[in-house]
Structure 1
Amino acid sequence: MQHLIPRLVLAGLSGGTGKTIVSLALVRAFCRRGLAVAPFKKGPDYIDARWLAIAAGRDCSNLDPFFHGDEVLRSLFWHRSQGADLSLVEGNRGLFDGKDAQGSCSTAELARRLAAPVVLTIDCTKMTRTVAAIVQGCASFEPGLDLAGVILNRTAGERHRAVLRRSIEEYTDIPVLGMLPKIAENPIPERHMGLLSDQEYGTGAQDGQTALDALADTAEQWLDLDAILGVARRAPRMDPATTPLFDGSPRAKAARIGYVHDEALWFYYPENLEALAHAGAELVRLSILSGEPWPEIDGLYLGGGFPEMFAQRIAVNRPVLERIRSLSRAGMPIYAECGGFMLLCDELECRGADGSVGRHAMAGVFPAATTLCERPQGLGYTEAVVEDASPFFQPGETVLGHEFHYSLCLTGRGASLSATMRMRRGSGIGDGRDGLLYENTFAGYTHIHALAVPDWAPRFVAAAVRWRGSSGTGPTGQN
Structure 2
Amino acid sequence: MQQQIPRLVLAGLSGGTGKTIVSLALARAFSRRGLAVAPFKKGPDYIDARWLAIAAGRDCSNLDPFFHTEAVLRSLFLHRAQGADLSLVEGNRGLFDGKDAKGSCSTAELARRLAAPVILTIDCTKMTRTVAAIVQGCASFEPGLKLSGVVLNRTAGERHRSVLRRSIEEYTDIPVLGMLPKIAVNPIPERHMGLLSDQEFGTGVDDGNAALNALAETAEQWLDLDAILAAAHRASPMKYAPAPLFSGAAQPPAVRIGYVHDEAFWFYYPENLEALRHAGAELVRLSVLSGEPWPDVDGLYLGGGFPEMFAERIAANGPVLTHIRALSRAGLPIYAECGGFMLLCQALECRSADGAMGRYAMAGVFPASTTLCARPQGLGYTEAVVEVASPFFREGETVLGHEFHYSLCLAGQGSMPTTLRMRRGSGIGQGGDGLLYENTFAGYTHIHALAVPEWAPRFVAAAAQWRGSRGPRA
TM norm structure 2: 0.99
**SS of aligned partner of 1:177:** strand
1:455 and 2:454 matched: yes
**SS of aligned partner of 1:74:** helix
How many percent of aligned residue pairs carry the same amino acid?
Answer: 84
Query: Equivalent residue for 1:217?
Result: 217
CA distance in 1, matches of 2:109, 2:88: 16
Query: Equivalent residue for 2:272?
Result: 272
CA distance in 2, matches of 1:453, 1:204: 33
1:471 Cα offset (Å): 1.5
CA distance in 1, matches of 2:227, 2:356: 54
Query: Equivalent residue for 1:375?
Result: 375
CA distance in 2, matches of 1:417, 1:468: 28
CA distance in 1, matches of 2:22, 2:353: 33
1:137 Cα offset (Å): 0.2
The count of corresponding residues between Structure 1 and Structure 2 is 474
1:353 Cα offset (Å): 7.2
Residue correspondence of structure 1 range 168-179 to structure 2 within 5 A: 168-179=168-179
1:425 and 2:408 matched: no
Aligned AA for 2:299?
G
For structure 1, list consecutive stretches of 5 or more residues without a partner in the other structure.
Answer: none
CA distance in 2, matches of 1:116, 1:105: 15
CA distance in 1, matches of 2:97, 2:417: 35
1:242 Cα offset (Å): 3.6
1:352 Cα offset (Å): 4.6
Query: Equivalent residue for 1:208?
Result: 208
Query: Equivalent residue for 1:239?
Result: 239
Aligned AA for 1:68?
H
Contact 1:265 1:305 in 2 (8 A): yes
CA distance in 2, matches of 1:412, 1:8: 48
**SS of aligned partner of 1:366:** coil
Query: Equivalent residue for 1:155?
Result: 155
Query: Equivalent residue for 1:79?
Result: 79
1:357 Cα offset (Å): 2.3
CA distance in 1, matches of 2:356, 2:36: 49
CA distance in 2, matches of 1:109, 1:205: 33
CA distance in 2, matches of 1:120, 1:364: 47
Residue correspondence of structure 1 range 22-101 to structure 2 within 5 A: 22-101=22-101
- Relative to structure 1, the CA distance from residue 328 to residue 353 in structure 2 (aligned partners, 3 Å threshold; closer, same or farther) is closer
Aligned AA for 1:322?
T
Contact 1:74 1:241 in 2 (8 A): no
Query: Equivalent residue for 1:468?
Result: 467
- Relative to structure 1, the CA distance from residue 174 to residue 217 in structure 2 (aligned partners, 3 Å threshold; closer, same or farther) is same
- Relative to structure 1, the CA distance from residue 67 to residue 185 in structure 2 (aligned partners, 3 Å threshold; closer, same or farther) is same
Query: Equivalent residue for 1:17?
Result: 17
Residues 273-300 of structure 1: CA deviation (Å, up to 9, x unaligned):
0000000000000000000000000000
1:356 Cα offset (Å): 3.8
CA distance in 2, matches of 1:393, 1:198: 33
Aligned AA for 1:151?
V
CA distance in 1, matches of 2:76, 2:282: 23
CA distance in 2, matches of 1:351, 1:264: 16
CA distance in 2, matches of 1:210, 1:103: 37
Aligned AA for 1:11?
A
Residues 32-77 of structure 1: CA deviation (Å, up to 9, x unaligned):
0000000000000000000000000010000000000110000000
**SS of aligned partner of 1:379:** strand
Residues 350-406 of structure 1: CA deviation (Å, up to 9, x unaligned):
135776420000000000000000000000000000000100001111000000000
1:344 Cα offset (Å): 0.1
Query: Equivalent residue for 1:118?
Result: 118
Query: Equivalent residue for 1:137?
Result: 137
Aligned AA for 2:58?
R
Query: Equivalent residue for 2:439?
Result: 440
Contact 2:375 2:406 in 1 (8 A): yes
Contact 1:26 1:216 in 2 (8 A): yes
CA distance in 2, matches of 1:470, 1:204: 42
**SS of aligned partner of 2:429:** coil
Query: Equivalent residue for 1:295?
Result: 295
CA distance in 1, matches of 2:356, 2:24: 38
Contact 2:74 2:242 in 1 (8 A): no
CA distance in 1, matches of 2:402, 2:371: 20
**SS of aligned partner of 1:180:** strand
Contact 1:261 1:287 in 2 (8 A): yes
1:341 and 2:341 matched: yes
1:272 Cα offset (Å): 0.0
Residue correspondence of structure 1 range 324-335 to structure 2 within 5 A: 324-335=324-335
CA distance in 2, matches of 1:242, 1:137: 35
CA distance in 2, matches of 1:337, 1:394: 18
Contact 1:325 1:364 in 2 (8 A): yes
Aligned AA for 2:417?
S
Alignment root-mean-square deviation, CA? 1.0
Contact 2:419 2:433 in 1 (8 A): yes
1:103 Cα offset (Å): 0.1
Aligned AA for 2:233?
R
Query: Equivalent residue for 1:146?
Result: 146
Contact 2:346 2:368 in 1 (8 A): yes
Aligned AA for 2:19?
K
Contact 1:79 1:241 in 2 (8 A): no
**SS of aligned partner of 1:101:** coil
Contact 2:78 2:242 in 1 (8 A): no
Residues 297-351 of structure 1: CA deviation (Å, up to 9, x unaligned):
0000000000000000000101100110000000000000000000000000013
CA distance in 1, matches of 2:167, 2:242: 45
CA distance in 2, matches of 1:204, 1:446: 28
Contact 2:79 2:242 in 1 (8 A): no
Contact 2:6 2:233 in 1 (8 A): yes
**SS of aligned partner of 2:250:** coil
Query: Equivalent residue for 2:199?
Result: 199
CA distance in 2, matches of 1:70, 1:323: 43
Aligned AA for 2:454?
D
